[in-house]
A and B are shown apart, each in its own frame.
Chain A
Amino acid sequence: MNPLTPVNPATVSSPRTDDHAAGGEPFLQVRDLSVRFATEDGPVQAVDGLSFSLERGRTLGIVGESGSGKSVTSLAVLGLHDRARTSVDGSIRLEGAELVGADEARLRGLRGSRMAMVFQDALTALSPYYSVGDQIAETYRRHTRCSRRAAGERAVQMLSLVGIPSPQRRAKDYPHQFSGGMRQRVMIAMALCCDPDLLIADEPTTALDVTVQAQILELLAEVQQEFRTSIVLITHDLGVIAGIADDVLVMYAGRSVEHGSVAEVLTAPRHPYTMGLLASVPRLSSAVDVPLKPVPGSPPSLLAVPGGCAFHPRCQARDLLPDDLCSSRRPALVAEDARDGRDGGDGHAAACHLGTAERVAFARRTVEPSESNDTRRIQGTNR
């Protein structure tokens, strides 16, 4: 959120309550979320029928490539999308309260206090004209009506919580005086200053080095353990997901293609896209001197999403299914147990037409070393 939003005294948030919504509804429930916006080149469906839920103290990882709609989802949850050009349908319920269509004043009361956001690029997300202490204090005063002095103390306290050395002095510094990792800590301090229940972190470590990334992920895990914060972590890095998330949602072309617990999705993926992603990433333990197994093609433009299953032009399992099935019918995101008519199950769902037997056969094929087309030789010189 923008910490410099003018303060509107009419919309000061209600005091915090810790009671849960009645009826056992999940803490955050997103149902059938669709986000469309008009662009110069035509309408774009950035998010298409997305559903997920998140409990208190849990972390959901949303993985996807550029243009998969993962950032748009986070902006829609916070109501930060451009209202003039964007239409949001479906339902987003935070502790039973509907956020889609809620008025701006109400959202403003919730943003920063109940739900907060950590952006990827802290240098653009922070204002260069205010010291970091003032920026954090402003957020706090906006929601608590406390004195300047108390808010200033809160800012210092938050900076020390996120591990910034000599916070008293550093609170007077400006964003450009911090290193990338420290700036990201400042953003986390600002997001946490009103004890939000929901923290949305959009690629919080993408711009950071691996050693600093490890520090920030550890900080998020500590914060969550201490405050039972629910975290939605958006990233393109499956390694980050493996380290911090409980559940994972894989997005492709604005749709969710696979959903389940981290252990399930990363060890036994059910969608060919997830399998392809996992197989294409080199690891510190993988075999060298063999070609990597890329996912062929590139992600589709949202202006022209392929019909049927959006992944079908790149899918290597398509030959296992009848010719026009994948290009004509869009597969629903269903748990396999439900499809087979079995009860219970782990909630591991994939949006794919492949049946169990075909999927297992395909998974075996992706894991085995293949004759890749990279073995063809290169010829031709200037001479």
Chain B
Amino acid sequence: MTQPSSAPSPTASSATAAHATAAQAPDASEPASAEPLLQAVGLTKHFPVPGTGLWPARRDARPVLRAVDGIDLTLHTGESLGVVGESGCGKSTAGRLLTRLLEPTSGVLRYQGVDITHASRRELAPVRSQIQMVFQDPYASLNPRQTVGEIVSTPLEVHRINPHGGRRARVLELLETVGLSPEHYNRFPHEFSGGQRQRVGIARALALEPKVIVADEPVSALDVSIQAQVVNLLQRLRRDLGIAFVFIAHDLAVVRHFSQRVAVMYLGKVVETAPRDALYRAPQHPYTQALLSAVPEPDPPSGERLDVGAGRIRLTGDVPSPLDPPSGCRFRTRCPRAQDLCAREEPLPRTPDGAEPGHLAACHFPGVN
């Protein structure tokens, strides 16, 4: 930590965690299971960067990119949690932390109550089969030299699983589950369209019967008419196989359609978490409100055509650099409600007055606009 002034103090982080659990406990709408399937408390990932000058900075003076800076997320069995935010907000890094493709800098990650924050490769092996990932780019995430059959059976090989009837039969079954046909078994990825490739990626993620799938922008690379096919497929898997999903996306309408609970991220922090309907009906954080009002909907405007911005909360400027985030509340530089307090003190997530239980906003001045 090179900037102790803006680094989150350990006390702040644990207070956040305590608050989050306290507020979430009485929520009856959560699936009834005592222990969360996957839980992140104060999860943090800082990437050291070599510096911006011609020479690398001294090792102890290297700037730190705060990609994820103390987030709390809870995922229950069979639940779907949506994570939304703009590019650079840390949502993809969060996904990679939850799957332990990255090792957190600090914080705690628990899977079924077991701390896996710093678990070794060997310790992780059984967990890996339970937490799978679907990637954004169906072109880059499939090996072009392997057939679909090889791609989908690789997880079975790695985990030395020999299902009844053999691996081939299991792979064919998986292909059918995701809407592909048996003749696709010997084809190569380049022979498929984007939507079909994404189905191959989903079949691979299903091969080990995971309990959790982290889907990082699973439909954003697909054509509009194909997106709905893949969203429906994931929805069906969640319902029929009871798989819990972390659905990471920037498209608020898709997230609303898919998720039961939604977390909104901004610059490495979760700024608002709430059950879906509460978040979309009565967003409390000004960032969530701005985000929601910027979504273009395919309904023609009722009155004047040039009212592109009518009724919108217009955000000015850009997202600040995660190398040097603003002090206090990170959204304050673009926030219409910002006051002196916002620069001094970082807001902790809390349930605003009049909001539902389980609705947390990290804002000093929350409220429905």
- CB within 8 Å of B: which residues of A? 65-66, 179-182, 209-215, 217-218, 221, 225, 236-244, 246, 262-263, 266-267, 273, 276-278, 280-286, 288, 291-296, 298-299, 372, 374, 377-378, 380-383
Contact = CB atoms under 8 A, between A and B. Distances in A.
Interface in B286-307: 290-292, 294-301, 305-306
B187 interface: no
Given A243-B301, A383-B163, 10 more contacts: A65-B223, A210-B252, A218-B309, A242-B300, A263-B300, A282-B257, A286-B257, A294-B227, A382-B164, A382-B209
B306 A221 contact: yes
B232 A292 contact: yes
Given A298-B226, A374-B232, A374-B236, A244 B308 contact: yes
B298 A238 contact: yes
B236 A213 contact: no
Nearest to A165: B317
Contact of B308 (A218, A281, A283, A372): A218
Contact of A380 (B173, B316, B319): B173
Interface string B60-94: 00000000000000000000000000110000000
A281 B209 contact: no
A179 B297 contact: no
Interface in B212-238: 223-229, 231-233, 235-237
A210 B256 contact: no
Contacts, number: 168
B226 to A, nearest CB: 6
Interface of B is mostly: helix
- B86, B208, B228, B256: which has the most chain A beta carbons within 10 Å? B228
Contact of B86 (A211, A218, A278): A211
Interface residues of B, number: 61
Nearest to B178: A378
B254 A374 contact: no
Contacts of A238: 224, 298
A182 B316 CA distance: 12
A266 B256 CA distance: 22
A280 B223 contact: no
Given A209-B86, A282-B253, A282-B256, A237 B164 contact: no
B253 A372 contact: no
Given A291-B235, A298-B226, A284 B250 contact: no
A211 B318 CA distance: 9
A295 B227 CA distance: 9
A350 B143 CA distance: 42
B193 A282 contact: no
B346 to A, nearest CB: 22
Contacts of A295: 225-226, 228
Contact of B295 (A66, A212, A218, A239): A239
Nearest to B173: A380
Contact of A298 (B223, B233, B297, B318): B223
Contacts of B208: 382
10 contacts: A180-B87, A209-B250, A212-B86, A214-B309, A225-B306, A277-B225, A280-B224, A282-B256, A298-B195, A378-B240
B177 interface: yes
Contacts of A213: 294, 296
Contacts of A282: 228, 231, 253-254, 256-257
Contact of B315 (A180, A211, A380): A211
Given A65-B225, A210-B294, A221-B308, A291 B237 contact: no
Interface in B171-226: 173-174, 176-177, 193-196, 208-209, 223-226
